[in-house]
A and B are shown apart, each in its own frame.
Chain A
Amino acid sequence: MSTVSEPSSHAPGRGKTVGLFVTCLVDMFRPSVGFAAVKLLEDAGCRVVVPDVQTCCGQPAYNSGDRGDARAVARQVIAAFEGFDHVVVPSGSCGGMIAHHFPGLFDDDRPMRQRAEALAARTHELMSFLVDVLGVRRVAARCDATVTYHDSCSGLRELGIKAQPRTLLAGVAGLKLAEMTNPEVCCGFGGTFCVKYPDISNAMLIDKTADIAGTGADTLLAGDLGCLMNMAGKLQREGKAVRVRHAAEVLAGMGDLPAIGEPERTEAPVSDRARPRAHRRTSAGS
């Protein structure tokens, strides 16, 4: 698996400045997904900025009924990200939180609601941004694997992400797609759900890993790290030899990194694999 150099004759994102919302899980557990997103966006011609004040999108509070803290975190995200042409998130769940749920948090605060709506309109999940907004159809990557793709719930049902990852994956050299019987059924993650109701979550997860194993695929991909960690943890516990990665990693030619839950093979930090280019070392000036 390796990256082929991208012909930059057409760069649909040229002139666009994108704010990358890294997500708390990618920041903490899988930075390579963030660097993959940076690479994909830069390859498409975008200038990528990562605001320093971001932490989380607020879902833990929002989905636990804690509207006050959800609003406080949302205000922080809105303030940090409203200056960009687009905001891109390598997660349908966190992307859905900003693009679908933020405005409703400010029903009683008209100015904030307008700012939330403006941000929501410019916020996209990574793969849908590449395909739907920039019109990217093909990325220059190679990955010799048979993969199956899990449609994470929020991305699928809140943001309509279904064809976009498959469009991009179809262009990856060496990659074969083997669909599950029910790729759209929840994996049982659900944020805090999986620890509040571990036994129900487990029953859902067992159905999912059986479906994954039934495809014969050697690699499982999805666009949300929470779901991926959940499924990876179960596949490993069950001793099923399926490697689990974020789809962005494969699309960015980083499909040879240790998979989720696999031991590191090298001491080199993952950022070396997608070293920021010189022009990004200069100040963003915004």
Chain B
Amino acid sequence: MQSTAHAFKANVGHALVDDNLQQSLAILKVGFSERRRQAAERLPEFEALRDRARDIKNHALAHLDFYLEAFEAKVTALGGHVHWAPTAADARAAVLDICRRAGARTVTKSKSMIAEEIALNDHLEAHGIEPVETDLGEYIIQLRREPPSHIIAPAVHLTKDQVADTFLEHHRKLGFDKRLTERNDLVAEARQVLRRRFLEADVGITGANFLVAETGSSMLVTNEGNADLTNTLPRVHVVIASIEKVIPTLEDAATLLRVLARSATGQESASYTTFNTGPRRPDDPDGPAEYHVVLLDNGRSSVLGTQMQDMLRCIRCGACMNHCPVYGAIGGHAYGWVYPGPIGAVLTPQLVGVEEAGNLPNASTFCGRCESVCPVRIPLPKLMRHWREREFERHLTPASVRQGLALWAFLARRPQLYRRATGIANRMLALFGRADGRYGWLPLARGWTRHRDFPAPQAGGTFHAQWKARGGARR
């Protein structure tokens, strides 16, 4: 999809006045974090499992070439096909090629962030193939022609009323002409519409939570079962996944699953956990005749061995955004590309460029709540700070910020001069603010005073001036 990350500040402006969005975010901010907290509390070994999960992913990344080749060998031996896609364009071309060979007119899809990353739906549509999203949230936003606003809850920005209007508009032509208001009725209607689409699809495309090198399996969790209809009913099953999804063993998958669902939704386990291991075997009751795995790099391998490598541990649970007060204020669309929240602030500059997405790692207070809940302990604030350092090195930091910093640093490195400067500033601010104790408006601090008063300093001079005057111990 086309990035609007460069327009972050404008996006934020729209998000903050979007009443429907703010209504949805108010629910999200409380719900996800509370459920995750309870799930973690119920499992005494949860913190130890997070360490183990981090170690598994670190090991897999340290030997990524080995495990990817092992995975490919297994898939091939099972009768499947692995397609290596260095770029998004390569991945799009590989999927389109598979669909064309299958003579596909419609394809069903279960939720895949990689499909969003490579803008697969647009590409298929442009070539006459209709993609049908089958995850309820993805289905809703596909009807509305919107990108996802959350990596596990793509339509979380919408209210029930908005969904009701969308369904009435799009389902009327299918004979559903009653505007529904109950949650269960909306789900039932979507299920009826999608059932027919599942049966007529020629190709099913799914993502993958993990790729297991030991068995050649791709593993997927859902709560709706839509992925299972996507990967068993059509004749051809295509898995699209990025290279860092590979892990060594089924045992590792089991460990990661234990932290994944708890971190994401607070569930002990998702409703459906499916391992796809090659195409249908002769004795299998069902399954696809063809099984393809498209492995996307898209710049990830260039992160290996750098100080940014930790970002590749991400298992896409969404806990960082569920706990992020910035995400909670502005929602996912403001980030302007596929991945929102703290992990988006780290991934997006890597995938679309720091010139385009430089605002994202800057729009953080470094409160650290994301890192404190990340199931694989990604040091997200540290990685955001690294992006700021790269911006600074490349002179992408705004000139006003650079000049302010240069002045501050000049003074901070000269304590005597600093004392004189702060002494003057202290006296001025204390003098003019004495009557009220605060400022409603201050030149050069309008970013502050637009929304809040600025407290005036206490009278009597700076701490150091008073300390010196009283002859306090010093050296």
Contacts and interface: CB of A to CB of B under 8 A. Distances in A.
Contacts of A190: 364-367
B426 interface: yes
Contact of A157 (B9, B369, B409, B435): B369
Contact of A189 (B326, B365, B409, B455): B365
Interface of B: 9, 12-13, 16, 29, 325-326, 328-330, 362-369, 371-372, 385, 387-393, 397, 401, 405, 408-409, 411-413, 415, 418, 422, 425-426, 434-438, 440, 445, 447-448, 450-464, 466-467, 469-475
A66 B368 contact: no
The 10 A-B pairs with the shortest beta carbon distances in the complex, nearest first, are A190-B365, A269-B460, A195-B447, A65-B388, A233-B452, A65-B392, A186-B367, A31-B463, A261-B455, A263-B437
A284 B422 CA distance: 25
Given A153-B365, A269-B459, A58 B474 contact: no
A269 B461 contact: yes
Contact of B434 (A34, A67, A73, A263): A263
A27 B420 CA distance: 12
Q: Is the interface of B mostly helix, strand, loop or mixed?
A: helix
B452 A195 contact: no
A22 B464 contact: yes
A284 B473 contact: yes
A61 interface: yes
9 contacts: A48-B473, A53-B415, A66-B405, A158-B368, A205-B452, A233-B438, A237-B453, A258-B437, A264-B437
Given A185-B367, A195-B448, 9 more contacts: A29-B426, A55-B415, A60-B408, A62-B385, A193-B363, A193-B366, A236-B438, A281-B472, A282-B473
A280 B473 CA distance: 5
B427 to A, nearest CB: 11
Nearest to B454: A233
Nearest to A282: B473
A38 B460 CA distance: 17
Nearest to B393: A65
A158 B367 CA distance: 10
Most buried by B among A27, A29, A275: A27
Interface string A242-258: 00000000000000011
Contact of A186 (B9, B365, B472): B365
Interface in A24-54: 24, 26-32, 34-35, 38, 47-54
A56 B412 contact: yes
A50 B362 contact: no
Nearest to B371: A157
B475 A286 contact: yes
A73 B414 CA distance: 10
Contacts of A48: 472-473
Nearest to B436: A263
Given A49-B475, A51-B475, A72-B413, A275 B470 contact: yes
A58 B456 CA distance: 23
Given A27-B422, A61-B405, A157-B369, A34 B467 contact: yes
Interface string A99-130: 00000000000000000000000000000000
B450 A64 contact: no
Nearest to B415: A53
Most buried by B among A54, A72, A200, A262: A200
Given A73-B413, A154-B368, A283-B473, A64 B401 contact: yes
Contact of A197 (B12, B372, B408, B471): B12
A28 B456 CA distance: 10
Contacts of A30: 457-458
B215 to A, nearest CB: 39
A198 B448 contact: yes
Interface in A192-242: 192-205, 207, 229-230, 232-234, 236-237
Contacts of B387: 65
Contacts of A188: 325, 365
A197 to B, nearest CB: 5
Most buried by B among A32, A49, A61, A261: A261
Interface string A60-82: 11111111010011001000000
A185 B369 contact: yes
Contact of A47 (B460, B463, B473): B473
A185 B325 contact: yes
A64 B388 contact: yes
Contact of B450 (A50, A53, A189, A198): A198
Contacts of B409: 61, 66, 69, 72-73
Nearest to A26: B463
Contact of B12 (A55, A153, A199, A283): A199
Given A203-B16, A258-B437, A196 B467 contact: no
Given A27-B422, A64-B401, A236-B438, A264 B458 contact: yes
A260 interface: yes
Contacts of A284: 473-475
A258 to B, nearest CB: 7
Contacts of B467: 34, 50, 271, 276
Contacts of A192: 401
A60 B418 CA distance: 15
A270 interface: yes
Contacts of B369: 153, 157, 184-186
Contacts of A154: 366, 368
